[in-house]
């Protein structure tokens, strides 16, 4: 039982770190054509850690987010008005499905 609690806490921290790093990288990608190389490297490091701990669904969503962020760097920079419109339409929320998969993963761990 204690192992499950520790595992849940470890996953929760990892998911939180990935969400924070992905959000920063995504905003940077929306505003800059050239990436700060250390940011995507941080995402890949967290993705690698998730491959050891997380469910396949969580890993799939994290991989997709990482690809989308890298692809976003090749797109034209977004203005503040475009970012605001993206937020209003919901297209700005790159992390929604990942967050939901993390919640399901943690809930299933708690149910054990």
Q: Which two tokens stand for residue 22?
A: 């992905």
- 96-106 tens-digit pLDDT: 999 999 999 99
pLDDT (mean) for 84-89: 81
Q: According to the model, what pLDDT value does residue 104 have?
A: 94
Question: Dihedrals φ, ψ of 34, to 5°?
Answer: -105, 125
Helix (H) or strand (E) holding 106: helix 96-111
- Of 97, 112, 92, 23, nearest to 60 by C-alpha is 97
- 40-81 tens-digit pLDDT: 888 889 999 999 989 999 999 999 999 999 888 888 888 888
- Secondary structure (3-state) at 15: helix
- Of 78, 65, 71, 87, nearest to 30 by C-alpha is 78
């Amino acid at each position: 039982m204690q192992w499950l609690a520790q595992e849940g806490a470890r996953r929760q921290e990892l998911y939180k770190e990935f969400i924070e790093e992905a959000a920063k990288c995504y905003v940077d990608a929306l505003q800059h054509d050239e990436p700060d190389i250390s940011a995507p490297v941080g995402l890949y490091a967290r993705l690698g850690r998730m491959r050891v701990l997380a469910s396949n669904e969580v890993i799939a969503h994290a991989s997709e987010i990482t690809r989308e962020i890298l692809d976003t760097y090749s797109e034209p920079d977004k203005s503040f008005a475009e970012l605001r419109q993206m937020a209003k339409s919901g297209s700005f929320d790159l992390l929604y499905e990942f967050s939901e998969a993390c919640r399901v993963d943690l809930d299933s761990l708690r149910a054990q």
